[in-house]
Amino acid sequence: MKFEKNICILNVGGTKYAFTREVIKDFPLRRVSRLHNCSSEKEVLEVCDDYDQERNEFFFDRHSEAFVFIMLYVRSGKLRFVPQMCELSFYNEMIYWGLESSHLEFCCQRRLDDRMSDTYTYFSDEDIKAEDDSRGEEDQDNPSSTERSNAGWLERMRRTFEEPASSVAAQVLASVSVIFVIISMVLLCASTLPDWDTAKNNTVEEHRIIEAVCIGWFTAECIVRFIVSRDKCEFVRRPLNIIDLLAITPYYVSVAMTALTGENPQLQRAGVTLRVLRMMRIFWLIKLARHFLGLQTLGLTLRRCYREMVMLLVFVCVAMAIFSALAQLLEHGLDLETSNEDYASIPAACWWVIISMTTVGYGDMYPITMPGRVLGGVCVVSGIVLLALPITFIYHSFVQCYHELKFRSARCVRSLSAEFLN
């Protein structure tokens, strides 16, 4: 748009700011810089709330005090919350002007994350309601309502299999899946008992049927979830789906190997690969993460705190390298006549360092010289300090993830109660 005047006036909540056209063009706020590319008054009104062409003044019905702090960010590069103003309200102002949470100072980012996790469910409820209303209006106006109804049916199926608390049917499917997981784990644990072979010979057909039914359920569940998923590539890349595949595949590999080798028990017992594949069924326990809030919280915390976990691992590895070298030197390298053979090498001493730093102390290895015992005390104290340093960050992230998932679950429970009453 070709402005008649070189000076542009921004009126934000009654507070006026004057800028030249060159400043408007390269303004750090995206909404303001968009004004320079507007070619008509209609496009200008899509950016601002009103426009006075005579005075070249643009009106924005927004929070004036919040815009003052945003302008301070434009000038100084530091963005902080307005005192006595809700964090979420200020965040809405930021989004309106084209800023993101990453522009905030670190302390304000933590405050915003805590606030958003506390009120997550309310935003989700409003978004879902608005989305449902818009879908309903589109279905009435669009003649191809059959296709949209099919898409809605697939979405309900997806939520039924992916979100156990979304409906009564989803809870029933989740309960059945948990029962099959428990049965599979009982069979896996019982198969390692000394008397299992004798019991299996007496009821071999029943065991095969139970195992086949469990695997059939898991396979059908995985196939249906793959069919109703929105993005097939994203479905394959998800960790839980990869674990499901690793848990199901060993059964079919075992059946194929049995078909190839026959029922020869000596040949099957010699197959180390077969025993490893059977033990991989322990991954079925991770399937419970779909149904239990605690496991979901643990997984989400590990995903968000991978930097802190890497930092903790680096601390431990550096301490292991230092203390194991010193322990090998003090216990074995200085006096060869009274050397402690448990510390004959640095890798052997690493085992003693890790169980000492974690305060486990099995007692299978221990220093016998006075310098070695002093080093052991320093190693234990250092381990406590090093392990405690990143724990604070991980703890706060765990609490935040727990509240976030709890509010999501509460939202699903409310919708489930409404569905049950209806």
Return the H-helix or E-strand segment holding 364. Answer: none
Please tell me the predicted confidence (pLDDT) of residue 375: 92
170-209 residue pLDDT tens:
778 888 888 888 888 887 777 777 776 665 555 656 777 8
**Tokens 């009103």, residue?**
50
Q: Do the Cβ atoms of 165 and 412 come closer than 8 Å?
A: yes
38-68 residue pLDDT tens:
878 888 888 888 888 888 888 998 888 888 8
Please tell me the predicted confidence (pLDDT) of residue 5: 63
For residue 221, what are the contacts with CB-CB under 8 A and spacing of at least 6?
A: 161, 173, 177
* Sheet order of strands, 15-20 included: 15-20, 7-12, 57-60, 50-52
C-alpha count within 13 angstroms, C-beta hemisphere, residue 361: 8
Distances (CA, A) of 89 to 65, 66, 92, 96, 105: 12, 9, 5, 11, 17
Q: Cα(354)–Cα(312) distance, rounded to whole angstroms? A: 13
**Tokens 């008054």, residue?**
41
136-167 residue pLDDT tens:
544 444 545 555 566 667 777 877 777 776 67
Please tell me the predicted confidence (pLDDT) of residue 350: 92
What is the residue-wise DSSP string for 193-237?
STTHHHHHHHSHHHHHHHHHHHHHHHHHHHHHHHHH-S-HHHHHH
- What percentage of residues in the chain have a pLDDT greater than 90? 7
Q: What is the DSSP letter of 167?
A: S
The pLDDT of residue 124 is above 50: no
Q: Report which of residues 378 and 289 the model is more confident about.
A: 378
Please tell me the predicted confidence (pLDDT) of residue 411: 55
Q: Cα(180)–Cα(173) distance, rounded to whole angstroms? A: 11
The pLDDT of residue 264 is above 70: no
What is the residue-wise DSSP string for 292-340?
-HHHHHHHHHHHHTHHHHHHHHHHHHHHHHHHHHHHHIIIIIS-STT--
Q: What is the pTM of this model?
A: 0.51
pLDDT band at 252 (very low <50, low <70, confident <90, very high): confident
- For the record, the structure tokens of 334 come out as 């200085």
pLDDT band at 409 (very low <50, low <70, confident <90, very high): low
Q: Cα(120)–Cα(21) distance, rounded to whole angstroms? A: 40
Return the H-helix or E-strand segment holding 16. Answer: strand 15-20
Shortest CA distance to 412 belongs to which of 92, 115, 121?
Answer: 121
The pLDDT of residue 323 is above 90: yes
Q: Which residue blocks in 358-369 are alpha helix, DSSP H? A: none
Lowest mean pLDDT among 126-130, 281-285, 314-318, 333-337: 126-130
Q: What share of the chain is helix, strand, coil (3-state, %, to 5)?
A: 75, 5, 20
Please tell me the predicted confidence (pLDDT) of residue 420: 46
Residues in the chain: 422
Query: Phi/psi at 11 (nearest 5 deg)?
Result: -110, 100
